[in-house]
């Protein structure tokens, strides 16, 4: 598609945008009294206005019903989390029974690794990507130590080729073959948080399964952003946070996927708690744990209803829009952002290097840009001008034009402000 870097053209794209109306469903922060242009939904999504309503509803029920809210609230707390399974299943390509919501992301990965990382003396190695998000590095190291193994021996890191910013699929598959029968688990971020690269989940999962290894995915930057078919791709387990593209608020509950083939295996080792116990017998206070035969069987404690409420509000919007429409706009607006940045770079003779892959199947709505010759002063200037992007050392900005609330005019305006900033730094 041929783009134009003009205000009139950007406005024409907005006029044709079938998702434009959803921008008004969110609350935007302000800088210097002016609504910001928000490109940081890959870190924390904006607040849906409906989330305020849903949280207020819970607070009202708590005040008026107290403990009886578990059964007599408009949305009873007893099974509140179950309401999220069906809409989430359409976001990540799963069966509703394969989805539960509980805890937070890293906690859930620990919970799931308890089940799916069962090392033996000959099959104990974990493949992950180098420089994964720190939480993933720490959890993998600690899980290995829990089994009295040496992280230097048990953890195998995927490497990028010298001078390249992204991982090559052929190198990942070669590493799986190299580790071979010693491979117990592959645990990778579905979308690399730093570069925005999307991994080939289907192909990598199938390759690891050839060695009878389990495969899990951290989908923090993927859920609500890219097409996922977790059930069809035969993924063993996955988890994701809800506060980035899912717009559920800071630290809100994490989603989990456990493939249905594991649901009826009562012998699986798991960290059990009473909310995962047979729902019909839960209040009999039985001594022996009887897991629910779905992903809910991995629940431990009753979930935070105040955390689930904004997630449910956001998911209702996702259900209304649909992932296909989101991805269509995502591809178009991200391509427009790329075009505008390249046009600005040519105009001011700047060296902006986009390190996110170009192919639409290899990226979501995030562009990571190396600002060669620029420092954090540029980031601070953009913030003061009402442009919120994300800074990563030493000189990378991550820019995410989230399709639910970013306009094409936002992208154009960002380019104009970036153009002015270049002469100052």
342 and 222 within one domain: no
227 and 157 within one domain: yes
Question: Does position 372 have pLDDT exceeding 90, yes or no?
Answer: no
Does 118 fall in a domain? Answer: yes
258 and 389 within one domain: no
Among 299, 321, 343, identify where a domain stops. 321
CA 25 – CA 23 distance, rounded (Å): 5
**Would you say 351 and 369 are in contact if contact means Cβ atoms under 8 Å apart?**
no
CA 20 – CA 321 distance, rounded (Å): 11
**The predicted structure's pLDDT at residue 82:** 96
pLDDT in tens, 104-125: 999 999 999 999 999 999 999 9
How does strand 125-129 pair with strand 183-189?
parallel
104 and 18 within one domain: no
**The predicted structure's pLDDT at residue 421:** 83
250 and 364 within one domain: no
CATH number at residue 334: 3.90.1150.10
pLDDT in tens, 179-203: 999 999 999 999 999 999 999 999 9
Question: Does position 369 have pLDDT exceeding 70, yes or no?
Answer: yes
pLDDT in tens, 269-303: 999 999 999 988 988 889 999 999 999 999 999 99
Share of the chain above pLDDT 90, in %: 88
Does 411 fall in a domain? Answer: yes
260 and 243 within one domain: yes
Dihedral angle, C-alpha 176, 182, 184, 185, nearest 10 ° = -30
CATH number at residue 85: 3.40.640.10
257 and 172 within one domain: yes
178 and 37 within one domain: no
314 and 368 within one domain: no
Does 1 fall in a domain? Answer: no
392 and 300 within one domain: no
Question: Is the omega angle on the peptide bond into residue 394 within 30 degrees of 0, that is, cis?
Answer: yes
| Arithmetic mean of pLDDT, 216-220 | 98
Does 169 fall in a domain? Answer: yes
195 and 74 within one domain: yes
Structural domain that includes position 351: 7-42+323-422
Does 59 fall in a domain? Answer: yes
**The predicted structure's pLDDT at residue 73:** 96
Among 321, 346, 376, identify where a domain stops. 321
pLDDT in tens, 113-161: 999 999 999 999 999 999 888 899 999 999 999 999 999 999 999 999 9
Q: Residue 335's pLDDT band (boundaries 50, 70, 90)?
A: very high
Does 2 fall in a domain? Answer: no
Measured in residues, the chain has a length of 425
Task: Spell 45-80 as b/e; 16+ CB within 10 A means b.
Answer: bbbbebbeebbebbeebeeebeeebbeebebbbbeb
Does 109 fall in a domain? Answer: yes
Question: Does position 425 have pLDDT exceeding 70, yes or no?
Answer: no
214 and 70 within one domain: yes
Beta sheet of 99-102, edge-to-edge order? 99-102, 254-258, 237-240, 214-218, 183-189, 125-129, 155-158
CA 208 – CA 113 distance, rounded (Å): 16
CA 237 – CA 239 distance, rounded (Å): 7
Among 284, 299, 321, identify where a domain stops. 321
């Amino acid at each position: 598609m041929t783009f134009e870097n003009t205000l009139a053209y950007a406005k024409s794209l907005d006029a044709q945008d079938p998702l434009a109306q959803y921008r008004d469903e969110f609350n935007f922060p302000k800088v210097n009294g002016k609504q910001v242009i928000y490109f940081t939904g890959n870190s924390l999504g904006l607040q849906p206005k409906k989330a305020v309503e849903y949280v207020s509803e819970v607070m009202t029920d708590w005040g008026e019903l107290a403990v009886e809210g578990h059964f007599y609230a408009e949305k009873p707390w007893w099974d509140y989390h179950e309401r999220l399974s069906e809409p989430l299943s359409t976001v990540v390509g799963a069966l509703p029974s394969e989805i539960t919501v509980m805890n937070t992301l890293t906690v859930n990965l620990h919970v799931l690794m308890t089940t799916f990382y069962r090392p033996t003396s000959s099959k104990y190695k974990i493949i992950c990507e180098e420089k994964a998000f720190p939480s993933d590095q720490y959890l993998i190291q600690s899980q290995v130590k829990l089994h009295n193994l040496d992280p230097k021996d048990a953890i195998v890191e995927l490497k990028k080729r010298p001078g390249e910013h992204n991982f090559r699929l052929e190198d990942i598959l070669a590493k799986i073959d190299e580790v071979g029968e010693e491979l117990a688990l592959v645990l990778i971020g579905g979308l690399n948080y730093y570069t925005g690269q999307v991994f080939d989940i289907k192909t990598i999962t199938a390759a690891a399964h050839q060695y009878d290894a389990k495969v899990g995915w951290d989908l923090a930057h993927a859920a609500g952003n890219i097409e996922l078919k977790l059930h069809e791709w035969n993924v063993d387990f996955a988890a994701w946070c809800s506060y980035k593209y899912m717009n559920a608020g800071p630290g809100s509950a994490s989603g989990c996927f456990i493939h249905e083939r594991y649901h009826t295996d009562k012998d699986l080792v798991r960290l059990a708690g009473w909310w995962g116990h047979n729902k019909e017998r839960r209040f009999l206070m039985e001594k022996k744990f009887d897991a629910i035969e779905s992903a809910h069987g991995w629940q431990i404690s009753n979930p935070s209803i105040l955390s689930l409420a904004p997630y449910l509000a956001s998911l209702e919007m996702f259900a209304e829009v649909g992932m296909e429409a989101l991805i269509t706009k995502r591809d178009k607006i991200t391509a427009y952002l790329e075009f505008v940045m390249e046009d600005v770079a040519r105009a001011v003779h700047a060296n902006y290097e986009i390190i996110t892959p170009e192919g639409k199947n290899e990226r979501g709505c995030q562009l990571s840009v190396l600002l060669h010759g620029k420092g954090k002063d540029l980031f601070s200037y953009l913030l003061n001008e009402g442009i919120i992007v994300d800074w990563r050392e030493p000189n990378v900005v991550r820019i995410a034009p989230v399709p639910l609330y970013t306009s094409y005019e936002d992208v154009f305006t960002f380019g104009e402000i970036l153009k002015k900033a270049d002469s100052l730094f």
